[in-house]
Structure 1
């Protein structure tokens, strides 16, 4: 799932609206720009704002003491 979706509700709402534009056959002229913008937003949301540690780093942290 997208890591930062909870932290960025505005971008999630924008992505939903852009997807609705892409589903609308009457808005065919807007499809290229909507698709590009949706891809940018999904990429940004997929990167996430929190850094994740690897499993090995987590185990080392638990065992160091």
Structure 2
């Protein structure tokens, strides 16, 4: 698994609410919920969404 995917997966698995992520970066709460429940695979999101989630994770998860 790539560094991008690992970092985004940590965000998806975190306690940060879908609403908070949406409010901060504009990714739809339904998209985040779909990733969390497994309805959508992390490999199936757009590059734009992946970049937003990755940057947010880097800024908000203590790595």
TM-score scaled to structure 1, two decimals? 0.31
